[in-house]
Amino acid sequence: MKSNAYNDGKIKVAELLRSPAFTVRLFYVEADVLFEQHATTARELVHVLGGGLEAKMGPILEWIKALPEDDKGLYEFLPTAPQVIQVYTEGQGLIMAKA
């Protein structure tokens, strides 16, 4: 398992599985962090596993929406589609899996 940290260690990433067809990574984003707008050349499925009661996600900063508190669920980003993740809740980060 490979792990990395970004944004001065406030975003931690662990690669759980890599195959020719897909990669599965686990992310932890600390509270009060903006995961800047980014895009990949692959289709991404993001499953929010917990935390981040005031987290928001969307294609650009101006269009981010709050994640439902009772069902974080799955989010899909098509290839090259931009995505932004913002976590507000002080003291509680966001845990998500990306494939």
Specify the pLDDT at position 87. Answer: 80
**Residue 1 pLDDT > 60:** no
Task: Give the tens place of pLDDT for each residue, 40-50.
Answer: 888 888 888 77
Tally of structural domains, the chain: 1
Task: Give the tens place of pLDDT for each residue, 69-95.
Answer: 666 678 888 888 888 888 876 657 777
Q: Report how far residue 32's alpha carbon sits from residue 73's, in angstroms, rounded to the nearest whole number.
A: 21
Give the range of the structural domain holding residue 64, as residue numbers without chain letter.
Answer: 2-98
The mean of the pLDDT values for the chain is 79
Burial of residue 12 (CB within 10 Å: 0-12, 13-18, 19+) is middle
For residue 24, what is the domain's CATH number? 2.60.120.10
